[in-house]
Amino acid sequence: MSRDPSEPVIETRDLSKVFGRFTAVDRVSFSIRRGEIFGFLGPNGAGKSTTIRMLCGLLSSSSGTAQVNGHDINREPELIREAIGYMSQKFSLYRDLTVAENIAFFGGIYGLQGARLRDRTATVMTLAGLTGQENHLTGTLSGALQQRLALGCAILHEPPILFLDEPTSGVDPVSRREFWDLIRGLSARGITILVTTHFMDEAEFCDRLGFINAGRLIALDTPARIKTTTGSATLEAAFIKLAT
């Protein structure tokens, strides 16, 4: 399907999720354009993962609307899942499988076979810096390598959209930096990325940020403009001002 490149790739309007009497996501509206790195920032429990799970078509919304790659999240979740890669907070790798077995497993889920599977496997192994470690047990790899493998598995089927939920938690600062280089490379190739983090230093690497607090979007702008409009030296200071 050909789409107008100026159209937003992800768009939400008053998106909300209620669990019982608790509102986890409260009328959140934003749009993300092709190739953008959009950072979703907020403390634990703010509603980041719930928003991502709705945008991945895994969880229906309570009210409001959202489109991902032109598909409504509640009506066409299966079409959304073909267009996205999703790296969940816990990496979702099988620790007792080898690197090659994990890739084959995720390739199978995405319906990759034969030459395409072999090609994509080689590309992902190179990207993840895992060449030569095909037969290592995943659980024995460092946190940084597991994270790169999880990213590789999420992009095996070359999705145009990538959701990364706290991809760098539990990873050392140098590896976090390298991981961000990978993310920037994917964005430069036109992949749209929504990434959540609670590391304020990483937020600086995003093109635009949404600050979320108690389910509500409290800021939506570039890192530079969020700092200037709040008169803050750091994003952390800006967040505190906006949240209180």
Binding site for ligand ADP (CB under 6 A): 19, 22, 24, 42, 44-50
The Cα-based distances of 191 to 16, 104, 173 in angstroms read 26, 23, 24
Q: Which of 12, 16, 49, 192 binds Mg ion (CB under 5 A)?
A: 49
Partner whose binding site includes residue 50, from ligand ADP, Mg ion, none (CB under 5 to 8 Å by kind) = ligand ADP
Q: Which is nearer to ligand ADP, 22 or 231 (CB)?
A: 22
**Pair type for strands 10-19 and 63-68:** antiparallel
Nearest residue to Mg ion on Cβ basis:
49
Place of tokens 């790899």: 141
Q: Which stretch binds Mg ion (CB under 5 A): 17-25, 33-41, 47-55, 179-187?
A: 47-55
Compute the 3-state secondary structure of the chain and give helix, strand, coil in percent, each to the nearest 5.
40, 25, 35
Q: How far is the CB of 198 from Mg ion (least distance, A)?
A: 9
Query: Minimum CB separation from ligand ADP for residue 77, in Å?
Result: 17
By DSSP bridging, strand 192-197 and strand 161-165 are parallel
**H-type helices in 137-222, by residue range?**
143-154, 173-188, 200-203
When CB distances are held under 5 to 8 angstroms depending on the partner's kind, the choice from Mg ion, ligand ADP, none that residue 45 binds is ligand ADP
CB-nearer residue toward ligand ADP: 130 or 171:
171
Residue recorded with tokens 């390739």: 107
Query: Could you list the residues that contact Mg ion (CB under 5 A)?
Result: 48-49
